[in-house]
């Protein structure tokens, strides 16, 4: 069915017409693109009447409004609302992630410090000799009846009230008493587990 | 007096991260412990950073933030994961990843056997197996300069033991009892 004729009145353009010679090709293209954008908000109708049929001054080279069905009112908007020369650029700002750091040294000092059992040949000969001498000094002839069941190195004497030993003697763990700084802890002390013939065990701190 | 630091960064559920640095003295006793609160990226950050977000948060935000906040300047850092080794280019502290081996001792403490530009074995104690070191590059970890601290500490305690304390303390903080 043929399309009915369009009898709507055409509002005249009051401003002077656009002069093709005053526009460079880049501006023409920008105008063309902007027209397409503006029709989105101007309720472009599904019409294919050519705008330049109504306003000959808009018959610019390469400029066709037929693709977007621009109505005369929209052409007026173009005249009255100048097109931007540049796209409006906005920088998206977002907050950079940042680590929030907290101190918890006291909490870390409450965690048990573990010492693994030394193997028989882990002690240098000089230290082993010193250990045996210390045993004889403490127990006298009874030292000969005692067996060295386990040795744990560098257990500070400040922690002697809070020492735990694995039942299988694989490790010993200790914590420093509250208020005792690590700098105050003494080095060079060895926790020795001695076993008597009756299987009684004794835990002794020796300084070697 | 020798000291060592231990850096651990945990990946929580989703893309959240949490980390801690424990510094111990030559007896393995804590002298400093700092941690970062759980860091959860926003949806916008997830979209913008994409697949690089995890590595960025772990290394550049949490890891770098902790080491810069630490007062243990110049103390060698043992990282819990090899992904943290690139931190060596961002902070002025020597970083390495340490692991135990079952190999025969190399000899006297201080003996080093190179395996690659980023890996070597080092004898830290008299009778134990050598430790395997993994570093970012030789420039960031001069072995001759930093190995003595490891040797001194290894003579008194197991230098891998404090890593378990970092994890345990972080878990306590996550449970919310001590934050």
Give the model's pLDDT for residue A33. Answer: 65
Residue B8: pLDDT band with limits 50, 70, 90: very high
Q: Inform me whether the pLDDT recorded for B28 exceeds 80.
A: yes
Q: CB contact, 8 Å: A8 with chain B?
A: no
Rounded CA separation A50/A73 (Å): 13
* Chain A nearest C-alpha distance from B138 (Å): 29
Q: Inform me whether the pLDDT recorded for B102 exceeds 60.
A: yes
Rounded CA separation B101/B105 (Å): 10
Residue A41: pLDDT band with limits 50, 70, 90: very low
Give contacts of A151 with chain B, Cβ < 8 Å. none
B residues 113-172 lying closer than 8 A (beta carbon) to A: 126-128, 156-158, 161, 164-165, 168-169, 172
ipTM above 0.90, yes or no: no
E-state strands within chain A: 101-103, 113-116, 147-152, 163-165, 171-174, 189-195, 201-207
> Percent of chain B beyond pLDDT 90?
78
Q: Which long-range contacts (CB under 8 A, 24 or more apart) does A53-57 make?
A: A54/A10, A55/A13, A55/A17, A56/A17, A57/A13, A57/A16, A57/A17, A57/A18, A57/A19
Cβ contact A156–B27 (<8 Å): yes
Range with the largest mean pLDDT of A40-44, A73-77, A125-129, B80-84: B80-84
Cβ contact B142:B136 at 8 Å:
no
| Better-scored residue on pLDDT, A33 or B25 | B25
Q: Inform me whether the pLDDT recorded for A142 exceeds 80.
A: yes
Question: Measured between alpha carbons, how far apart are the two ends of chain B, in Å?
Answer: 31
What count of CB pairs under 8 Å joins A to B? 104
- Per-position b or e across A102-121, b if 16+ CB within 10 A of its CB: eebeebbbebebbbbbbeee
What average pLDDT does range B140-157 have in this prediction? 94
Q: Inform me whether the pLDDT recorded for B113 exceeds 50.
A: yes
| Better-scored residue on pLDDT, A142 or B96 | B96
| Better-scored residue on pLDDT, B106 or A10 | B106
Residues B60-98: pLDDT tens digits? 999 999 999 999 999 999 999 999 999 999 998 999 999
Give contacts of B167 with chain A, Cβ < 8 Å. none
Pairing of strands B112-116, B119-122: antiparallel
């Amino acid at each position: 069915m043929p399309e009915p004729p369009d009898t709507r009145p055409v509002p005249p353009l009051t401003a002077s017409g656009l002069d093709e010679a005053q526009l460079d090709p880049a501006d023409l293209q920008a105008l063309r693109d902007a027209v397409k954008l503006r029709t989105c908000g101007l309720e472009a109708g599904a019409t294919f009447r050519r705008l330049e049929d109504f306003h000959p001054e808009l018959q610019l080279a390469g400029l066709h409004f037929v693709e977007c069905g621009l109505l005369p009112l929209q052409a007026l908007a173009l005249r009255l609302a100048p097109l931007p020369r540049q796209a409006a650029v906005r920088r998206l700002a977002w907050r950079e992630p940042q680590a929030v750091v907290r101190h918890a040294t006291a909490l870390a000092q409450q965690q048990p410090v573990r010492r693994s059992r030394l193997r028989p040949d882990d002690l240098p000969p000089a230290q082993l000799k010193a250990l045996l001498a210390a045993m004889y000094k403490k127990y006298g002839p009874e030292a000969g009846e005692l067996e060295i069941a386990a040795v744990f190195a560098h257990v500070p004497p400040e922690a002697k009230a809070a020492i735990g030993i694995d039942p299988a003697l694989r490790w010993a763990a200790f914590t420093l008493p509250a208020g005792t700084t690590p700098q105050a802890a003494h080095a060079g002390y060895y926790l020795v587990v001695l076993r008597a013939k009756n299987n009684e065990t004794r835990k002794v701190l020796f300084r070697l | 007096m020798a000291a060592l630091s231990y850096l651990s960064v945990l990946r929580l559920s989703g893309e959240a991260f949490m980390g801690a640095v424990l510094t111990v003295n030559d007896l393995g006793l804590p002298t400093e412990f700092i941690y970062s609160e759980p860091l959860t990226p926003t949806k916008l950050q997830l979209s913008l950073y994409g697949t690089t977000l995890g590595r960025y948060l772990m290394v550049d935000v949490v890891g770098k933030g902790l080491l810069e906040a630490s007062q243990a300047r110049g103390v060698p850092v043992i990282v819990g994961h090899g992904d943290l080794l690139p931190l060596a280019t961002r902070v002025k502290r020597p970083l390495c990843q340490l692991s135990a081996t079952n190999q025969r001792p190399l000899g006297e403490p201080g003996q080093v056997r190179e395996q690659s530009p980023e890996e070597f074995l080092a004898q830290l104690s008299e009778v134990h197996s050598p430790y395997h070191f993994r570093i970012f590059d030789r420039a960031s970890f001069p072995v001759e300069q930093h190995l003595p601290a490891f040797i001194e500490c290894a003579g008194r305690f197991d230098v891998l033991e404090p890593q378990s304390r970092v994890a345990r303390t972080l878990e306590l903080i996550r449970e919310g009892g001590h934050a």
